[in-house]
Amino acid sequence: MYATDTENEALRRLLAINWGTVAERGQESHVALMREYLRRAALWAKCLEATDHWPFFDVASLIAPAVRAEPRVVERLEAALQPFSLWPTIKKTCIWYLHWQRLEQCRAEAVAGHKLPEPFEPLIRFYERGGRFSTEHGFINVDRVGIPAKVRGWQAFDSTTPFVALDDRALDRLDAMVAAT
């Protein structure tokens, strides 16, 4: 088995993230990106009848369990992330993103048939912007904000209306508004 172009591009994207540096506290975009991820994950969990797996789960494995990222690609990512003190779920979501990218390229019809937004893009944008998180007692802790994800349940995020646009201009504007207050 060979890695797909999409898979290799996803790996390059993850390897380009500066995992050793966490952005300054108070990044409003981080909270918005996490909420957007939770919204998309709720849509996928509901669609795939996997709400018990929400909020963090391997979406690709629920659609096509046999379609997995090339093992060498996963191993390369794991080796690159190993030196960093990252919450275990962060590492898992990066691997799940690789599996998702392979699924999108190898079985595009299986993904397109669901007519839902890409699940992991908000998280990858979050990581690219220096965001990190941890989980505790049903909360997802982003910077100094605790998002009551498990406390409120997936239903609280089940919406077709996005929380935030994922482009840098919109995210930078959001951070600038908070910095100005």
pTM above 0.85, yes or no: yes
**Least confident residue range of 2-6, 79-83, 123-127, 145-149:** 2-6
pLDDT in tens, 59-68: 999 999 999 9
Residue type, 60: A
- Contact assessment for residue 70 and residue 167, using Cβ atoms and an 8 Å cutoff: no
Per the DSSP assignment, residues forming a β-bridge with 134 are 141
- Contact assessment for residue 97 and residue 17, using Cβ atoms and an 8 Å cutoff: no
pLDDT in tens, 114-153: 999 999 999 999 999 999 999 999 999 998 899 999 999 9
Residue type, 6: T
State yes or no: pLDDT of 26 exceeds 60.
Answer: no
Strand arrangement, sheet containing 139-142? 133-136, 139-142, 145-147
What value does the mean pLDDT of the chain take? 93
The DSSP string of 74-86 is HHHHHHHHTTS--
- Contact assessment for residue 79 and residue 15, using Cβ atoms and an 8 Å cutoff: no
Longest alpha-carbon distance in the chain: 53
Q: Determine the average pLDDT of the residues in 65-75.
A: 96
State yes or no: pLDDT of 12 exceeds 90.
Answer: yes
Question: What percent of the chain has a predicted confidence (pLDDT) above 90?
Answer: 87
Task: Tell which wins on pLDDT, 179 or 167.
Answer: 167
Parse the chain into domains and list their residue ranges: 5-180
How far, in Å, CA of 179 to CA of 28, rounded? 9
**pLDDT of 21:** 80
Residue 105 pLDDT level (bands cut at 50, 70, 90) = very high
Nearest to 107 by CA among 141, 65, 162: 65
